[in-house]
Structure 1
Amino acid sequence: MNKLFYIFLLLTILTISIKPVFSQETHYIVTVNINGEINYGTQYLLEEALSEAEKLDAPLIMILDTPGGLLDSANNMIKLIRNSNVPVIGYVYPAGAQAWSAGTLILLATHIAAMAPGTLIGAAQPVLYDPTTGTFKPINESKIINPIVGIITTLAEDRGRNKTAAELFVRKNLYLTAEKALKYHVIEVIALNMDDLINKIDGWTVKLDNGREYVLRTKGAVLYHYSGSIRVYVVKALSDPIINSLVATLGVLMLIFGLLSGHYLVVPLAIGLIILSLIGTGFSINAVSLALLVIGAVALAIELFTPGFGVLGFTGIILIALSIALLPMLNPGWLISPSYQATLFWTGISLGIGLGAFTGFILYKIIKVKKQPPKLTTVPEGSVGKAIDNIGPNNPGFVIVEGEYWKAISDEEIHKGDKIVVIGKEGPLLKVRKISIHMEKEK
């Protein structure tokens, strides 16, 4: 049985370790899916996929379906595309997919832009969601709009595409179907599927930003789909604003609980969670959200030492809920579609309220226990209990008698776990002695 296990383990390791072997004479196309919000994980995924494509001297096809995301990550992805040594083709696919906001910027950076019928691009104007009215407020401040307009129009001009339409994506929230995008020279190809795209671009000559002219040989090429390393999945998950907020909140609460309860072993874990949340945001946490999170957690901690469970406790819960909700809402570095922004906001609110309610319940129980007076004001002599600590003449320790914890002292050495009997009281301390085996037999 052991031999079979080791053989299975060896085969598993070998399977994981195997990397595809490529023929130098075969033409390849590397494909990568850019799905969900654009964040640091997406940036690393593109970086790795481009590295694989350049090793094979193969074009890279990015299959886009994204509501947008971090402008910083989108800019880094644009730099990767512009500095690549192989052509990058952007393909919004399948039908029903979109490349909104930051996704549109990335599409316009590609050497060939393609869309499937029934897909949409555009809607790149930054907006803020107003939870009180359920509406979206367009951002028109020039200091925010102009840099984005500059980026997108430069991309359109460099790729020979429609600058006016590119500018309207940002200033007027313009969106286009595949047919209109082709008509207005925003994209080069409409393709029904991957095979159709590969056939249509075969033989095209692409001039890269470094001056290299690359002739596409896509017909009959072998498709190699790149899905990313473990690093990509970890960073992508931590970069999600909802998961990131949850990890940061749990870290802060665990830190406070650990310090207040004396369970210091959880402190490193708490600090680790906080650091992970920082990594997920690229060390650019929104200051307002972080301040609210810390103040809320501190308010809950202070509630432990105040009479009753009132204003401070509920205030802390509300502040934590708001800190989670405001992280995606206030950050102008996010360039995402309005519908996705609303989803982020309400999911954040739900998580915040749920986590706050749970935390409040736990704190309520802690406070109740801390502030509850002892059930026994005096302990009758002769009461029997158990030593919780080692106790001696000059070494007081805790005992448990009739379900209550008491500090006690003894004229003899009592070890943890020994049975004891109360023989008197010295001030606030109980006077106890160990129950011998002889005494137990007499009883």
Structure 2
Amino acid sequence: MIPRSSPSRPILLWLSLACLLAGALAAWQAPAQSPAARDTALVMTLDGAIGPATSDYFQRGLELAAERQARLVVVEMDTPGGLDAAMRDMITAMLASPVPVTFYVSPGGARAASAGTYLLYASHVAAMAPATHLGSATPVQIGGGGGLPGLGEPEAPSGEGEDADKRKAPEAERAPADDAAEAESSAAEPDKRRGETAMERKVLEDAVAYIRSLAERHGRNADWAEAAVREAVNLTAREALERGVIDVVAGDLDDLLTQIDGREVMMADGTLTLATADLALERFDPDWRTRLLEVITDPNVAYFLMIIGFYGLIFELSNPGSLVPGTIGVICLLLALFAFQVLPVNYAGLALILVGLGLIVGEALMPSFGILGIGGIVAFVIGSVMLMDADTLNISLPLIGGIALVAAGLMLWAMTRFLGLRRRPARTGQEELLGNEARALEDFQGEGHVRLHGERWNARSAAALRRGQAVRVVGIDGLTVEVEPLDAGT
């Protein structure tokens, strides 16, 4: 007799599975809702020039902090500056972040120069360690677009000539000013740096307005920020605190979190009071992706990748089917193009480099006794110098000189090889027969026959020849060779 299954057994089974599923979901969501997970401060490191890799790393860190509901993001910074586009992307992401961001210039001896000053002004809390400094925020135009320095007269924008005339007017014709205001602004106003060309003034005034807006947003010293942009002035950490440029001078991270506890900061949706006294520090250091981007976007590496890619393709086209040079060349060239996409490249310089390399290769394929080669080297060096010209993102001059010397050496070697080939006797065709040794097959003077290269040839000789005598070929007339005795004068 087979027992029947109880009707309540499937119901109990489904209820058990539902309970297990609910427990798993609760356990999965528990870490995200746990207070301990939110009571953390995400610490990042910004060391070196600011570029695309730095911007990508910083924005990923902000996204991670928002996902983990961190209370604070702390960026330990030591930078000489960097790209304006990357800096603005970082500032835009920081101002829109739901998590407050603190930029902390550390350790001792670090600096926040150029773009680092803008990041400090844009941060919700600006902090520095003792023995650090900031400033030198004057924008430097890179990528070429402004012409060569010293060429052309600067154009005065609308209203600039009138201001200049007013500044040149005698003191007696100027309106009297208040003594205090004169000490604060009027004395310095005529000395403000405004740029020598219209393009320089445009870039400078844009940078001034940008950093002043950041200073006003967070209640920091806007006048000094303008001076840092116009005159490239600098401040130590203690001076910056006294002038209201930064908020805190802290010896370490624990001191920083203690000092900013309870401070009100301006967020995108209003003010926020920081609670940082007991936050746990969680590190988010640059990973392999950031390191790879930093290597590729280094101007010297990108420049070298472009050279390898170009020569790899040339060798592949010269020897079809070799595969290895072509594969390496394509990979290197694509990596170089990616780097040039995010770097401030002067396309005139890039064009000169490609033309120079093409002329050098042309010298090897079509010898012009140095005309193409010398022109190619000159174009290559000038283009390399023009490619990227900046204090923090420039190409090493020894690298340019080394590659130019290698190219010149290859060109010189090719020229000497071609000259040597011109001196060598012919190896094929009728010309190859000239000077070869043959044997007379019979006694003759005038018309006869000789054995040459194992073949019977018609021969003509002005001298009398004996059978088996060694002769030399001195001329060719159709299928008849002209010979002379081997012991005759050359």
* TM superposition score normalised by structure 2: 0.64
Q: Describe how 1:17-416 pairs up with structure 2 within 5 A.
A: 24-26=34-36, 27-58=39-70, 59-127=72-140, 140=196, 141-211=200-270, 213-262=271-320, 265=323, 266-282=325-341, 285-307=345-367, 310-329=370-389, 340-341=391-392, 345=394, 348-370=396-418, 372-373=420-421, 375=424, 377-378=426-427
CA distance in 2, matches of 1:286, 1:366: 31
Q: CA deviation at 1:24?
A: 2.7
> Are the equivalent residues in 2 in contact too, given 1:236–1:280 (CA < 8 A)?
no
CA distance in 1, matches of 2:454, 2:401: 52
1:50–1:272 CA distance, 2 compared to 1 (3 A): same
CA distance in 2, matches of 1:359, 1:262: 22
Three-state SS of the structure 2 residue aligned to 1:69 is coil
Q: CA deviation at 1:84?
A: 0.5
What code does the residue aligned with 1:52 have? L
CA distance in 2, matches of 1:308, 1:236: 42
CA distance in 2, matches of 1:423, 1:182: 99
Percent of counterpart pairs with the same letter?
30
Tell me the equivalent position of 2:168: none
CA distance in 2, matches of 1:362, 1:119: 49
> Are the equivalent residues in 1 in contact too, given 2:384–2:400 (CA < 8 A)?
yes
Tell me how large the CA RMSD over aligned residues is. 3.1
Tell me the equivalent position of 1:8: none
1:92–1:307 CA distance, 2 compared to 1 (3 A): same
> Are the equivalent residues in 1 in contact too, given 2:194–2:204 (CA < 8 A)?
no
Tell me the equivalent position of 1:388: none
CA distance in 1, matches of 2:140, 2:277: 43
Tell me the equivalent position of 2:481: none
What code does the residue aligned with 2:247 have? E
1:186–1:234 CA distance, 2 compared to 1 (3 A): same
Three-state SS of the structure 2 residue aligned to 1:57 is coil
Three-state SS of the structure 2 residue aligned to 1:281 is helix
What code does the residue aligned with 1:316 have? G
> Are the equivalent residues in 2 in contact too, given 1:317–1:353 (CA < 8 A)?
no
Q: CA deviation at 1:250?
A: 2.3
Length, aligned pairs only: 347
- Give the unaligned 5+ runs of structure 2: 1-30, 143-147, 150-192, 429-452, 458-490
What code does the residue aligned with 1:313 have? G
> Are the equivalent residues in 2 in contact too, given 1:249–1:293 (CA < 8 A)?
no
CA distance in 1, matches of 2:84, 2:207: 9
1:82–1:128 CA distance, 2 compared to 1 (3 A): closer
Higher Cα radius of gyration: 2
What code does the residue aligned with 1:239 have? T
> Are the equivalent residues in 1 in contact too, given 2:302–2:336 (CA < 8 A)?
yes
CA distance in 2, matches of 1:308, 1:34: 52
CA distance in 2, matches of 1:45, 1:318: 39
Tell me the equivalent position of 1:382: none
Three-state SS of the structure 1 residue aligned to 2:43 is strand
- Give the unaligned 5+ runs of structure 1: 1-20, 335-339, 380-421, 427-443
Q: CA deviation at 1:289?
A: 1.8
CA distance in 1, matches of 2:73, 2:363: 56
> Are the equivalent residues in 2 in contact too, given 1:250–1:273 (CA < 8 A)?
yes
